[in-house]
Amino acid sequence: MILADFGTSYCKFLDTEGGNKPTITATKELPPRLRVDIATGHNGQRFARKYVNELIALARGGESLIADDNYVLLDCGSRDIKFIKYAGGRVADMGWNTECGASMGFTIELLARYYNLDYQNMRPPLRTFSVTCGVLGMSSIFDAIIEGTPAAEAVASFVKGIAVNAYRFAGSPARLYLSGGLCDNPIFTGSLPCEVITLGRFVLLEGLLHRGK
Amino acid sequence: MNICQTKWQLPTPPRKAGIVGMPPLQVIQYLNDHGTVIHDLDARLVPDSIEGTAPYLPRVYCAILRTVVLNALRLSLDAVYIDVGAGKCDSALHVSTILTNILSIPVIRTRNQDRRNFGTPVCRTRLALLEKFLTITEGVKHHRPQDGVNFKPCQPQAGFWGVPPRDFSLLELFPDTTHIYGWTRCMENKTPAAEDLELYYNPTIPTVFFAQSFCAKAGLAKFLADRHPSALYLDADYNCGGSAKAKIQAFLELSGAYQ
């Protein structure tokens, strides 16, 4: 059975019978006739026989991977952010921001390419930009560069602003479980003002695997 | 005294009247007794774009009241009865000012303080949530209550607290055993200003606390949701988007309401 998380920028696949690890494909390179068995994600309904709501996939993935009854799990994607909060083993709160969190991961990746930056070699900055959303926040970068701030530092302050927004959106927990592609961005994870436990990019696939729980 | 304006009975009873919110029972009975066709202006009655209200209201404004203005502009009415007291909202008071100035028909303000309880059988019965809302909202046009015999109470598996949404499609996600709370329950009880009834919720069932975006009741919805042990606070504007529906679906599934 093929499971897939069809994200805005990247798609993740898992063949449950092959014993292989999950794979990643850029969404723009997907074959148009592709079909999978069960899917989640923004583009999932186009490609799958069965579709699972992203929040449900995230929740089931968290239940499978986190050995705790009280936690907040935040998923940061290319286009949106969503979280689920458990208290006493039960769902206590959730949120899905498709508007103000718009294009955050996508924008962070575009900025790295344009300014030729490698986030792996950068450190979280001291300065935080006040970022309403990925697109509007770019003005802060341009203004800072005009003032003489190096591009790398300006972009890092922007990423930190997005991280702080995401943290507040998730309810400002003392400990945050993080999923999604930004788990691999040290500027982003290092800018979150709390304990961060990264779970990687395949939490929603894990959720599809355990959807019947 | 319920009625704001002393001359609420027109020299000639209107053939067609629009109502906003829930005018007092006395007014509804007067209209029913004279065979007046009543249009509930809070509901979606005309297919025209909501942008038609832009000359009169900001775009960032309660979608229900924008709908009221659109309906009032497009429908051929003889009078509008608009409730502006605690049973509706402050914004309705301001909309009544606007309607008075842009319409050439009488716009009559009321302040509904009705306290007689007519019961809430529809809110507590097993029926598609959409049908329950259609029944309750239709009920505001009639001074007689629903016949409770037709609506037996059921054990609730979920709750919906709030006002009737501008976009009824979100109601399709709830199980038939969903009980209704908040202002909609006040509507069925024909006591729209009954604050104690509006504040009531059932803490033992997962409940969606809904408010229209830019509505003053959003504050109450958020407050009550924070107190409820299994709650989802949700607001939606003109239409209920995919992410809002996904939140409802996920909340109900993960809290066991579909079982």
Smallest Cα distance from A170 to chain B, Å? 14
Instruction: Assess contact for A77 and A11: CB atoms under 8 A.
Output: no
Cβ of A94 and B249 within 8 Å?
no
Tell whether B172 lies on the interface with A, counting CB pairs under 8 A.
no
- Statement: the pTM of the whole predicted model exceeds 0.90: no
Smallest Cα distance from B221 to chain A, Å? 14
How far separated are the first and last CA of chain B, in Å rounded? 48
Residues 6 or more apart whose CB falls under 8 angstroms from that of B160 comprise: B129, B171, B174, B178, B179, B180, B181, B182, B184, B207, B208, B210
Cα distance between residue A123 and residue A140, in whole Å: 19
- Label the pairing between strands B207-212 and B231-236: parallel
Chain A residues with at least one Cβ partner in B under 8 Å: 53-56, 59, 80, 84, 90-98
Q: Residue B11: which pLDDT band, with cuts at 50, 70 and 90?
A: confident
Does residue B165 register a pLDDT over 60? Answer: yes
Does residue B147 register a pLDDT over 70? Answer: yes
Report how many Cβ contacts below 8 Å link chain A to chain B.
39
Residue A116's pLDDT is 95
Does residue B77 register a pLDDT over 90? Answer: yes
Residue B196's pLDDT is 96
- Average pLDDT (B6-19) is 86
Residue A158's pLDDT is 93
Candidate from B230, B247, B253 with C-beta closest to A96:
B247
Instruction: Assess contact for B22 and B141: CB atoms under 8 A.
Output: no
Cα distance between residue B125 and residue B3, in whole Å: 33
Domains of chain B: 16-110 (3.40.50.11890), 122-254 (no CATH)
Residue A146's pLDDT is 95
Does residue B5 register a pLDDT over 80? Answer: no
Residue A131's pLDDT is 79
Tell whether B246 lies on the interface with A, counting CB pairs under 8 A.
yes
Note the pLDDT tens digit of each residue in B36-66: 999 999 999 999 999 999 999 998 899 999 9
In chain B, % of residues over pLDDT 90: 82
Average pLDDT, chain B: 93
Residue A101's pLDDT is 55
Per CB-CB distance under 8 Å, the chain B contacts of A91 are 230, 251, 254-255
- Average pLDDT (B7-36) is 92
B-interface mutation test, from A73, A83, A94, most B Cβ less than 10 A away: A94
Cβ of A56 and B250 within 8 Å?
yes
Q: Residue B3: which pLDDT band, with cuts at 50, 70 and 90?
A: low
Paired residues of A13 in beta bridges: A4, A23
ipTM score for this prediction? 0.78
To which H or E segment does residue B235 belong? strand B231-236
Note the pLDDT tens digit of each residue in B199-226: 999 999 999 999 999 998 999 999 999 9
Candidate from B241, B242, B247 with C-beta closest to A94:
B247
pLDDT per residue of chain A (213 residues) written in tens, 0 to 9 = 999 999 888 999 999 987 789 999 999 999 988 999 999 998 888 899 899 999 999 999 999 999 999 999 999 988 888 999 999 998 888 988 766 555 678 889 999 999 999 999 999 999 999 876 667 778 899 999 999 999 999 999 999 999 998 999 999 999 999 999 999 999 999 999 999 999 999 999 999 998 765
Residues 6 or more apart whose CB falls under 8 angstroms from that of A1 comprise: A15, A16, A17, A37, A38
Cβ of B249 and A56 within 8 Å?
yes
Instruction: Please give the residue that has the higher pLDDT: either B241 or B67.
Output: B67
Smallest Cα distance from A175 to chain B, Å? 21
